[in-house]
Structure 1
Amino acid sequence: MLINQVGSILKIGLFVIFFGSALNASAQKKGDSGKDDESAKETSKDSVSKDYKDYDKLLEKGTISKGVFSLIKSENDYYFEIADSLFQREFLLVNKISQVPLALNESGLNKGMNYENKLITFHLDSLAKIIWVKTHKPMVSSPEGDAITLSVKDNFGESIIEKFDIESYNPKTHAPLIKVNKVFNGKEKSFNDVLNNIGLGGSVKSDLSYIEAIKTFPENIVVKSQLTTTVSEGGPNMYITLGVTSNIVLLPKVPMQPRYLDKRVGFFTEKHWFFNDQQQAMKEQELITRWRMEPKPEDVERYLNGELVEPKDPIVYYIDPATPKQWRSYIIAGVKDWQVAFEQAGFKNAITAKEPDANDKDFDVDDVRYSVITYAASPKSNAMGPSVVDPRSGEIIEADIIWWHNVMTSLQSWMRIQTGPIDEKSRANVFDDNHMGEAIRFVSSHEVGHTFGLKHNMGSSYSFPVDSLRSKTFTDKMGGTSPSIMDYARYNYVAQPEDNVTTITPKIGVYDKYAIQWGYQWFKNRDQEELALKALVDSHNNDPLYFYGEQQPYKNTIDPRSQSEDLGDNAMLAGTYGLMNLKRVSDNLEKWTYKEGEDYYNTGKLYMGVIGQWQMYNTHVMNNVGGVYLNITNHGDGKESYAPVPYELQKEAISYLNKNVFTIPEWLLFNPVLKRTYAIKDSPLGPFEYTPYTLSREVQYSVLYELLGDERLLRLVEAELFNPQEEPRYTVQNLFSDLREHIFNKTIRSKSLTILERMTQKNYVDVLLIDLQKMMEKTTTNTLVGLDRIAETNFCMVAINEEKQARNINYRSLRRVSEVATYKRQELQNVLDLLEKKKNKGDKNTKAHYNDLINRIKNTLKY
């Protein structure tokens, strides 16, 4: 399927992965002919005199434009004239999507996405009349004069990616001229390997591809191309033409002073390796990604004295002209909301957003001179905020926020489900412009935060007590649902109608201001910077409002404090309040979606959204079981790096799941709305309608499967080894006992079972059977049976994929010889013993059910 072929597009637009210093740019002292470049230049004037006439002929047929490279267009050919001073200077090659056909649009590939970046240098070989193009990853540095620097140069050299024959020379400057068509029209992949980078593969059909235009500016060149390929999906070839834009950006001779990561603050980073003669081991550090923000020379003393000053180069975002007019002011407001954070770093008027000048003929959303919030016409419901980074220092050069039109569908769903009970404006089929506009403003602020270098802070919302979210005074004072807008703390689903809470949308919070201060406060020298920044973090290290919690994989959440979509410091209490509001929404499904003459599609969609919200609460609660608080610790701070979730909280979590999952909430899954519509989920094949019994089985099974997963149980086993005599630990035996006593409660009491109770017992036994069988296989892959995320709630596609799990902790090795297999086998035996005693109790359906379970367990245990 085409959608699978372009699946790797989730990796596009990520921050550049090459980092370091400008050292390697000067490491290449020899030309590829084996002679010094300087020596070659001495002979170049005499050797090229006969080629000057070719230059004049090109000018007769074409036009010339001045810029970083002078550009000559002669008929359908394009030539770069490269000044001597630009050889061995470092350039960043930035490739973006500028146009896609429908097939790729449906797969999530859209205009504005940055899919490939690389650092390149041009090298002149005058004798061979060739210009070589090389690339390297500048993530390594060492001091000039150290002996090891000789080894660094030899072990981290440049690689040749392209060569150009010199076509002619400028008779006045002697600058060589190269024809560049081949690297932009699809014949060569050296400058633009779009098909492999977006996951399609294959080759460009050169006869159906061409260069649209090239423009040159003082510090960059912009190349527009149309590239065509064909894709087969088992039938006739499908022709795919992509519009792409390539930027060649001249980087500063002196990179920005990098700032090194403190893991207690969440910034995107790139790794850098440092070598020197005094080391006993290479030093590895991470450079944060940030804009170059510094005071004007005349304002330095005022800045250092604590006065707010305007930065030398403010950050400017442009609104895509394709953006509907009614949303532009809200998107701009979302950008400007960050002013207060930069003021804490000492800068006023540091950021702004505006619409482009209609008279600027050179404005192009894909030109790296402009940071643009690009509006994508697409059915995708998403937004993301990547940036283009100078790989030598972490300096953000330009930001690209992609705003998919249909993100408003997610916003409406979140607000309806999470705040409809307390906010009448959120109940409508269509929101008024102001209500939707304020939601757009929130998303704008969140995505802009990523373009400042900020990662998600999924642990921020944990600092608010759950009951405080029901306080109008507290929420008005703190401004929303979390101390950070970079959390996924969407809307206040905890507050009840009687609480009269009105501040329900996330805002720029105290953590955001602190993080921007840490990343952007300017210092005169490195020593002063390191001391001041460490002191800043240390001063807030024990304040929960400034807690930073790394984003974790949805399927492998270890620390329950840092979860997507959760609120407050107790998932069980938050979920309980959330369910009270979900009951209100479920009672109004038809009323809130009613529109005369329309079918029940929107009702079914809202119904599925409510079920998805319920399942989200279940996941938040479940991750407390076997959870471990992962703290970022330093020598001397007295903190524990690993702290198992307290016994009482894990016990409370299982109690919640027993009550709200392993007892199916009939008000939700067997709602009267089923007379009109089933729950509906969209798919590439069209809407799918889920019957209530099927949906109940699948959702409940998925919770049990994840709850009893090997890694979770192994974490419980590990926790028993931590000071077992000092405090109680929730154990695997506790888990199985608490579940069994609830799920088999009526069996223990010799009562007949309803069909839903029989379903739960079957799910429980089947999960144990499947888990045990898989554990004995030679495999480490667990496939979740049942529904995946039934509520599509994430945005920030790029940020999510950029933020890999920071803490890679191995719990899973040698599972077959761990205690988990013993516990699961024993639990099956416990259930079997109970069923053997009770197999003749209850009605005929209950007895048949018991006999079925007995046979399944015996077959697995090899009786």
Structure 2
Amino acid sequence: MREKALLTNLKNVALVALLLSTSSVISQKKNKKDKDKTEQVTDSLKASKGKNYNDLVKKGTFKKGLFNTIQVKTDLYLEINDSLFQREFLVVNKISNVPMLVNEEGLNRGMNYENKIITFHKDLMAKKVWVKSSVPKVSSPVGDAITASVNANFSESIIEVFDIETKNDDSTSVVIKANKVFDGKQKSFNDILSNIGIGSSVKSELSYIESVKTFPNNIVVKSQLTTSINDNGIPSSVTIGITSNIILLDKVPMQARFADNRVGYFSEKHWYFSDNQQAVREKELITRWRLEPKKEDLEKYKNGELVEPKKPIVYYIDPSTPKQWRSYIIEGVRDWQIAFEKAGFKNAVIAKEPTDEDTDFDIDDVRYSVITYVASQKSNAMGPAVVDPRSGEIIESDIIWWHNVMTSLHSWMRIQTGAIDPKARGNKFTDEHMGEAIRFVSSHEVGHTFGLKHNMGASFAYDVESLRSPDFTAKMGGTAPSIMDYARYNYIAQPEDHVEAITPKIGEYDKYAIEWGYRWYANENEEHTALNNLITKHQNDPLYFYGEQQSLGTSIDPRSQSEDLGNDAMKAGEYGLKNLKRVVGNILDWTYDKDESYYETGKLYISAIGQWNLYNYHVLTNLGGIYLNPTVHGDNKASYVPVPAAVQKRAVAYLLKNSIALPEWLFFNPILDKTNPIKDTPLGPYEITPYTLARDLQYDILYKMLSDERLLRITENELFQRNKTKDNVFTVTQLFKTMRESIFASTIQNKSLTILERLSQKNYVDVLIVSANKLFEKTEPKKSIEIQENLSMPHLCDYLEESRMARNINQSFMKRVSEVTSDKKGELNQILQLLKIKRNSGNQETKNHYFDLIQRIERALNNTL
């Protein structure tokens, strides 16, 4: 048995040996085959790519710059010097040209849609160049122990790799073939379709690199990228021109300046770690240009003399801008000179048209900040910037100026100033009158490119009556202390006031904000002290108040609103309505154009209704409003101050008189013999009948007056002020009583109701039912026709992407166990009892109305039992 087992084992060993021997032979043959194949591929690459540097240069077009470029037919090679490896670059992708399908969606030339930090890393072992990307928003001191952890936990990511094609003669640079990152094959450098929201991929066979330019500190590559989109069920080809800039960033970033919520600047978030912390420090760096005095002017600057900056801010006017508007746009830029003088610099801001001396001028080159004129139906303008995220330094900025922005200006001026300015009444303005409006918009947008955010609180600094004074408005230069407010034109001044300064100008806040953001300091300690002192000096002066932008319709602070004027919305609204009534009475005459349709009439008419609705919203914010003060320790200011009870009562009275009681002069007038209000839509002009429009707008105001959040703020204010006298506290009970007695006044007096009175009662009851019983009812809040988007005066540069909006205060958690539901149900019951008593009073239409309301309320209340 043992011999048999031994024989079996020997056979097994022999078999294993045979298998191993065979495997070895096969492996050797395979390795030799793979080696031969690799050598063949390498030889092929050498032959096809021209591994010899000089041969490659001879074959193509060579340009010297940041990266030397070599173009061989359709191939683009970049030569990267050793000194550039591990340096930080910023990739900036911009739109160069678009077809109509994309233009209609609001994507236009000059728009910057993607920026990222990259570094190049040479790997001679693998014969590769790796590209890594990072988010440089974390810092720690060199030498701190935690720095090693910071480096490990916030490391770079590899986004691309290139083969090293060849080296230069002295091996101080390598050459890579860069086609794939610019022609759409790879998204690592340029992910246009994802960033603009087109859910498709680039068709590489229909895309190509158009041109390349290289300069000492940047490279500019233009490409044409094609994709296919679904256009109403039909596949359509879309080609978008892209310009990719790769910019070499400074080794030492600009000295960052920390944001302060008492001054409005766009900002970049940054985290700071150090060994001596007990918690990570999060700060925001404001975005600003690097303005510094020249070395030879330092002493003059420190002594308070105005000096020219080492490098001024220069804006170029797009050559495609119509000639009649260029000087006004330039003046709008130059108007900021006075503000930069407060920061110690003269001739800091320059605007000019490109000349023959600007031989390299390219509207898509990040070396040039351009006010880009866009042929589009869009009515807007905006001022974005390219920012170094390491420090907040603005590297370049492009103001996008849509041709149709003039339609917005035309509408604003006719509606807001037509009553007091004959120049603002016709279907077409003179070039001079439109030019001044363009100058104002230019100044506003340029302000954004300096880093300034909207200051919606500026206009509250001026007393309403002051805006009727020719002397005050001439002295202060406009409608608010900041051109960064949405304080359009003076709609408060009456014809008899003879006010002429009715256009927004650079104001006191603007000068203060530029001084705070741009005055140069030698070190961080000096800067910190000086900036705090500047804020402290002005903190109690309303001219220097900064109010964050809020969403229209859900605003909390009535001081910081869009499109409003003055410090009293009710008084301003009353004056505005007087002028608006004059405008409406003249719309047919002002829009008369022989043998033309009433299209312009209908458009101006709906703008007038939109202006009326703006006044409603301005007043509405006072109801349950809170003054939100940006505060710091030691300033002895309250952060949250309820709007005084007397002001809230006036707000309710205004809304009941001018909004809930619909103005017949606005909704039912001779204009309707010729046209309905007309709104432009993507599907063409859209007419809205006045009864439909009035019903919807009234419902919207009522719904927002009785929103849960607003009533909760009123209740909370009552709770915190319970020790004050009744006159100083406005309650939800008072609000409902006031509204009920007004809306049901004719019912209480046993009168027959008009159609509009019945409308108001139906809307009021429906708002209460929907909002009180939404947990139980199938009824949902009525979907209005997007009132603010469609009917209000047009908005300009509406920066939804602002890094900080007004504080988001949550008062709506667990609403079902708050007082709100009880209050609304209680009000429904009060109305029900009144209607049961009055159900047989009035004419038949009134009785039918009461019968309907009683059934609705009973059903709503019973459904919640």
Give me the whole-angstrom Cα distance separating, in 1, the residues matched to 2:595 and 2:794.
32
Query: Which residue matches 1:36?
Result: none
Which residue of structure 1 aligns with residue 15 of structure 2?
none
Contact 1:386 / 1:799 at 8 angstroms: preserved in 2? no
> Which amino acid counterpart does residue 745 of structure 1 have in structure 2?
A
Give the aligned residue type for 2:299.
E
Q: How many residue pairs are counted as aligned between the two chains?
A: 815
- What's 2:557 paired with? 559
Contact (CA 8 Å) 1:422, 1:497: kept in 2 or not? yes
Q: Deviations along 1:482-518, whole A, 9 cap, x unmatched?
A: 0000000000000000000000000000000000000
1:234 positional shift: 5.3
Which deviates further from its counterpart, 469-478 or 60-69?
60-69
Aligned equivalents of 1:849, 1:233: Cα separation in 2: 48
The one-letter code sitting in structure 2 at the alignment partner of 1:807 is R
2:594 — aligned with what? 596
1:199 to 197, 200, 205: 197
Which letter does structure 1 place at the counterpart of 2:817? V
Q: Closer, same or farther in 2 for the Cα pair 1:353/1:170, shift >3 Å?
A: same
Q: Could you tell me which residue of structure 2 aligns to residue 384 of structure 1?
A: 382
User: What per-residue deviation string (whole Å, max 9, x for no partner) do you get for residues 536-587 of structure 1?
Assistant: 0000000000000000112320101000000000000000000000010011
Partner residue, 2:315: 317
Structure 1 contact 705–784 (Cα < 8 Å) conserved = no
2:286 to 265, 277, 288: 288
Whether contact under 8 Å (1:385, 1:796) holds in the other structure is no
Q: Once the two structures are superposed, what CA deviation does each residue of 1:38-82 show, in whole Å capped at 9, x if it has no partner?
A: xxxxxxxxxx9x998532232222111011100000110001100
Point out the more displaced range, 727-736 or 92-101. 727-736
Q: Deviations over 1:348-393 (max 9, x none)?
A: 0001100012464421111100000000000000000010001100
- CA displacement, residues 756-808 of structure 1 (integer Å, 9 cap, x when unaligned): 110010010111111123245799x9775354214353544363432542412
Indicate conservation of the 8 Å contact 1:386/1:798, yes or no.
no
Unaligned runs of 5+ in 1: 1-47
Contact between 1:455 and 1:803, CA under 8 Å: does it hold in 2?
A: no
Measured after TM superposition, the shift of residue 212 of structure 1 is 0.4
Which structure 2 residues correspond to residues 72-87 of structure 1 after superposition, within 5 A?
Answer: 72-87=70-85
Q: Deviations over 1:634-682 (max 9, x none)?
A: 1121111011111011100010011011111000100111001111111
Which whole-Å deviations, capped at 9, do the CAs of 1:621-642 have from their partners, x for residues lacking one?
0111011100011112111101
Structure 2 gaps, min length 5: 1-45
Is the 2:138–2:271 Cα contact (8 Å) retained in structure 1? yes
Instruction: Say if 1:776 and 1:260 are closer, same or farther in 2 by CA, change over 3 A.
Output: farther
Question: What's 2:188 paired with?
Answer: 190
CA RMSD of aligned residues (A): 1.7
- In 2: Cα distance, 1:401 partner to 1:315 partner: 14
Counterpart in the other structure of 2:24: none
Q: Is the 8 A contact 1:266 1:548 kept in 2?
A: yes
Pairing of 1:272-421 with structure 2 (within 5 A): 272-358=270-356, 360-421=358-419
Point out 4+ residue stretches in structure 1 off by more than 6 angstroms.
Answer: none
Seen in structure 2, the aligned counterparts of structure 1 residues 782 and 150 have a Cα distance that, compared at 3 Å, is farther
1:620 aligned to 2:618? yes
Relative to 1, partners in 2 of residues 1:101 and 1:53: Cα closer, same or farther, differing over 3 Å?
closer
Match of 1:770 in 2: 770
CA contact (8 A) 1:776 1:816 kept: no
Q: How far is 1:731 from its partner?
A: 1.4
In structure 1, what is the Cα distance between the partners aligned to 2:796 and 2:84? 38
CA change 1:637–1:360 in 2 (3 A) is: closer
Once the two structures are TM-superposed, the CA of residue 526 in structure 1 deviates from its matched residue by: 1.0
Aligned to 1:785: 784
Pair 1:507 & 2:505 matched: yes
What is the alpha-carbon distance in structure 2 between the residues aligned to residue 756 and residue 726 of structure 1? 39
Residue pairs, 1:477-626, within 5 angstroms: 477-626=475-624
Go from structure 1 to structure 2 and tell me whether the alpha carbon gap of 1:75 and 1:358 turns closer, same or farther (over 3 Å shift). Answer: same
Tell me: CA distance 1:784–1:706, structure 2 relative to 1, closer, same or farther (3 Å). farther
Classify the secondary structure of the residue corresponding to 1:488. Answer: coil
- 3-state SS in 1 of match to 2:379: coil
Give me the whole-angstrom Cα distance separating, in 1, the residues matched to 2:233 and 2:282: 51
Q: Judge conservation of contact 2:51–2:165 (CA < 8 Å) in 1.
A: no
Q: C-alpha distance in 2, partners of 1:427/1:803?
A: 38
In 2, Cα distance between the equivalents of 1:832 and 1:845?
A: 18
The 2-side partners of 1:146 and 1:567 are apart by 53
Q: 2:469 aligns with which of 462, 468, 471?
A: 471
2:848 corresponds to which residue? 848
Rounded Cα–Cα distance in structure 2 between residues aligned with 1:808 and 1:707: 19
Instruction: Give the AA of the match of 2:651.
Output: A
Q: Residues 609-688 of structure 1 correspond to what in structure 2 (within 5 A)?
A: 609-688=607-686
- Name which of 407, 424, 427 aligns with 1:426: 424
| Aligned residues of 1:490 and 1:505 also touching (Cα < 8 A) | yes
Residue equivalent to 2:731: 731
Give the Cα separation in 2 of the matches to 1:652 and 1:209: 63
Higher RCO structure, 1 or 2 (CA under 8 Å, sep 6+): 1
Q: Determine the C-alpha separation between the residues in 2 that align with 1:831 and 1:86.
A: 77
1:857 matched to which residue of 2? 857
Do the aligned residues in 1 keep the contact of 2:399 with 2:445 (CA within 8 Å)?
yes
Q: What residue is the counterpart of 2:122 in the other structure?
A: 124
**Aligned 8 A contact 1:625 1:650 in 2:** yes
- The residue identity in structure 1 corresponding to 2:240 is L
- Tell me which moved more, 490-499 or 787-796: 787-796
Q: Is the 8 A contact 2:770 2:781 kept in 1?
A: no
Residue of structure 2 equivalent to 1:722:
720
Rounded Cα–Cα distance in structure 1 between residues aligned with 2:635 and 2:524: 24
- Cα distance in 2 for partners of 1:812, 1:101 equals 46
- Work out the CA distance in 2 between the residues paired with 1:364 and 1:605: 39
State the AA in 1 paired with 2:313: I
Larger mean CA deviation between 457-466 and 702-711 belongs to 702-711
Aligned partners of 2:231, 2:324: CA distance in 1, in Å?
40
Counterparts of residues 802-817 of structure 1 (less than 5 Å): 802-817=802-817
Counterpart residue identity of residue 837, structure 2:
K
Corresponding residue number in structure 2 for 1:27: none
2: CA distance between counterparts of 1:95 and 1:859? Answer: 59
Report the AA paired with residue 740 of structure 1. R
Q: How many angstroms does 1:714 deviate by? A: 1.1
Give the counterpart letter for 1:835 in structure 2: L
Q: Cα distance 1:716–1:345, how it changes in 2: closer, same or farther (>3 A)?
A: same
Counterpart-to-counterpart distance in 2, 1:526 and 1:750: 74
**Is the Cα contact below 8 Å between 1:106 and 1:378 reproduced in 2?**
yes
Q: Normalising by the residue count of structure 2, what TM-score does the alignment of the two structures yield?
A: 0.93
> 2:239 aligns to what?
241
> Secondary structure of 1:237's match?
strand
CA contact (8 A) 1:293 1:522 kept: yes
The letter for the 2-side match of 1:788 is I
**Is residue 162 from structure 1 mapped to residue 160 from structure 2 by the alignment?**
yes
Q: State the shift of 1:717 in Å.
A: 1.3
Instruction: Report the counterpart of residue 44 of structure 1 in structure 2.
Output: none
Q: Report the Cα offset of residue 172 of structure 1.
A: 3.0
**What is the match of residue 754 of structure 2?**
754
SS in structure 2 of the partner of residue 157 of structure 1:
coil
- Alignment check: 8 A CA contact 1:702 1:784 kept: no
Distance 2:514 2:804 in 1: 22
Contact 1:52 1:169 in 2 (8 A): no
Q: TM-score, normalised by structure 1?
A: 0.93
Conserved? CA contact 2:485–2:562, under 8 Å: yes
Contact 2:268 2:287 in 1 (8 A): yes
Note if contact 1:450-1:799 (Cα within 8 Å) is conserved in structure 2.
Answer: no
